[in-house]
Structure formats: structure tokens, C-alpha cells
Amino acid sequence: MSGGVPFSESAPLLIYPGLGVYHTTSTSQLVRQATKQRRLCLRLFFAAKSMPCSHWGGMEICYMCEAAATSREHVPPRCIFPRGDEHRKSLITVPNCDVHNSTKSKSDEYLRHVLVCSPGVNETAAQVARESLVPSFERRPHIMETFLTNVRPVTLGTDETGAFTVDVRRFESAVSSIIRGLYFHETGQKLRMKITVLNAAFCTSDLRAAPHLAYIRETERKLPDDYRGANQRAFRYALHYQDDSCGLCRMRFYDGHPIYGVWGGRGLRPPSQRSA
């Protein structure tokens, strides 16, 4: 594991100028378009739900649907990592189709924006912001209206910072895609269950702590520090599951607060110390 502030009761929750406010906006046109295209894709390619691996008849299959794979997708997106080979070594890739590949780029940019603006992140996040986020805003000032919705000054204790409204549905869709990709990478099978995304860095619109903060803190204390990843200053993860019917994916971007993906019917109870 890389360095960073341990996630505990004493760790600061909101210390970065640009905290995200946990408040859902209307569904973006991008998400609606992606949903429509996915439905079309599923009509064109027959389902193989009992398929034990990523191939059918020797043909590689997309990790998200039953379409033939036409390329490889980075999990998490390549834009999350700073430029340079030293920061992008041994990146995870999974097979994907044209539909899912073509609808993700804008969502990947939005995910990067929210992550680098999250509280408690390290210098790697600042490097990504300098290399990609700030130049993007300078080239296309209009996208700030999309990325910094309802931005406003707020005061936390004696510190003055800013808050913006997060498109939670868009954020959770991007995070869920990463989790499905990691599961596919580890098992060779698709994760078809609905994923509940929990972000310890989000707060409510009245600046209270994230709704599931206590669950995340308890789970981090109970489970071993077994995060993995070749570029841990930017991203690391741990998977805990028995099969695709229930499980937990723990992720940390830029040493920031944990982001969880939970699936299955066990509810929000910290899992036992069993890792994949």
C-alpha cells in the first residue's frame, strides 16, 4: 500500500477546496443515450448468462454485454492516471464493444473531475488536475457549467472552500463500470448484479457527513489492508466476494477516502476477512 492518511475517526472529512455535495441532479442526456444503445445491443446479441468465461465460440465478448469485443478498455479509465510511463504501468484492461467504448469518454472525464476535487487527496491528484483538468477548462470554458454545477462558497470551521452539486447518477454509473471491469478481470465472468456505490467523501446538501460514512469506517477497521494495484498513488482496490451474488469492492483514488461498491442481498454489514 502506498502512503497516505489512514482512514479513521480522526481523519479529516472535508479539507479540500472543492468538496462534492451529495445531491442528485437530473439524469444526463449521456446516460439516457447509453441506456438506449445498450438495450439495442442486447436485442441484437443473444444472451449467454450461463457462459463461464469471456469467450463464445472463440470470440471475445464485451465485459458489459453480450456483444463481440472490438477493443480493450482501461479499468479504471486511463485518464485517471498522470501522464508518463512511470504512472501508467501495468494498467488493467478488459474487452469491450463499440457501444460501451463510444459512450464512456465524457463520463470518464466527469469521474476524473469529481475524484481530483475530493477531500484528502494527494499530490498525484493535483498533478492530474494540472495536466488535464485545468487545460480542459481553459480550452472549453463552457464545460465548467457541467462539471461545477451550482458551485458556491461554503465555510467549514474556520476554512473557506467551495461546494458543487454532484450528478450522483452519472458518478455512480462510471464507478459501477470500473467495479464490473475489475470483477471481470479477476474472475473472467460478468458481474450482473445491481451495484450500490458508497462514497465516504460526499456530504449531504446541508453539509452533513456521507450517509454511509459509519459503515465504511467500520469496514475499513475490520478488513485487512490488502489493497492492490501497480500505481497505488493514483488507484488501488480490494475485492471481497464468494461469487457474483454478493460481494464488496473497496477502492481508493489518490489516497482519498474509500469508495465502495456493494452487491447482493446481505445488506450493509461489514464482510468477514475473506478476500478474493
Q: What is the C-alpha to C-alpha distance for residues 200 and 68, in angstroms, rounded to an integer?
A: 36
What is residue 219's predicted lDDT score, i.e. its pLDDT? 93
The answer to which of 25-39, 141-155, 261-275 has the lowest mean pLDDT is 25-39
Per-residue pLDDT, averaged over 235-257, amounts to: 92
Residue 201 reports pLDDT greater than 60? yes
Higher pLDDT, 245 or 16: 245
Grid look-up 445491481 returns 194
Per-residue pLDDT, averaged over 195-202, amounts to: 91
Per-residue pLDDT, averaged over 14-20, amounts to: 34
Instruction: Decide: 165 and 152 in contact? Cβ < 8 Å.
Output: no
Instruction: Decide: 179 and 166 in contact? Cβ < 8 Å.
Output: no
The alpha-helical segments, DSSP class H, found in the chain are 29-44, 98-102, 105-116, 123-128, 134-139, 144-147, 168-187, 213-222
What is residue 84's predicted lDDT score, i.e. its pLDDT? 87
Higher pLDDT, 43 or 96: 96
Higher pLDDT, 13 or 167: 167
Q: What is the C-alpha to C-alpha distance for residues 264 and 208, in angstroms, rounded to an integer?
A: 28
Q: Of 208, 189, 183, whose CA–CA distance to 263 is shortest?
A: 183
What is residue 28's predicted lDDT score, i.e. its pLDDT? 43
Phi, psi torsion values for 96, nearest 5 degrees = -140, 170
Each residue's pLDDT tens digit, 59-115: 788 998 888 899 999 999 999 999 988 888 899 999 999 888 777 778 899 999 999
What is residue 150's predicted lDDT score, i.e. its pLDDT? 86
pTM reported for the whole predicted model: 0.76
Q: What is the C-alpha to C-alpha distance for residues 134 and 111, in angstroms, rounded to an integer?
A: 15
Q: Three cell numbers at 260?
A: 465502495
Does residue 249 sit in helix, strand or coil?
strand
What is residue 149's predicted lDDT score, i.e. its pLDDT? 86
Residue 50 reports pLDDT greater than 80? no
How many CA atoms are closer than 13 Å to the CA of 102, on its beta-carbon side?
11
Q: Of 98, 83, 106, whose CA–CA distance to 167 is shortest?
A: 106
